[in-house]
Structure 1
């Protein structure tokens, strides 16, 4: 039974470390690459009208607030997960609940980001949207490599 507990603890710790590393990498990539690249493309390369620029600026400002709230929830869930692992040292309902909270918070951040991208796209003309789509796909593929 001791071997099983040790194996379970190792698996839970590995999952938690992997989740924390994935969150860190995603947050770093989102802050470093995606907003700067998309912002540059949208505002510098798409030849926006004044109305489009105004609307997109408002969309980006609203999302910055929303993203901050969601990122704070991810950080909270990450702290809960680390505390649950430190306190329980095994695969317990508390650890599982903390993992679920973390996954839920990350999922909400990802969904909000995708909705934001589509909200921005809706402001663009069909030609601008094609260039925007290429930039989004290129950014996502670069992150996958």
Structure 2
């Protein structure tokens, strides 16, 4: 069966959240519905899905900040791994950014996730030897 990528649509939430949980990328401190709504609020970000039949089998949330592109929530259904879906969804993310004039794409990988690091390195991503610092602000700082 063919797999195609497309933008997230209303009604996809249940499948996407189930996929993120199955793929192990959901975190209890991140509300998936809130993150998706935030990404969809304007034209600076998009949630992409790969669909086989009517089943969502991969996702990527992509955004740009005026200087570089970022990708988050890259997930492939564990039952559909090793079929090129990770590459497919990352290619779609890169195309979306290139179409917007973005020439630099970044992502965050947990240090202990060696298999995922190897996947991204195989796609040409490199460790920039930078440190990501974070501060919760606004209502999140509560």
Q: TM-score, normalised by structure 1?
A: 0.29
The structure with the greater share of residues assigned to strand is 2
Q: RCO (CA 8 Å, sep 6+): is it higher in 1 or 2?
A: 1
Q: Which has the larger radius of gyration?
A: 1
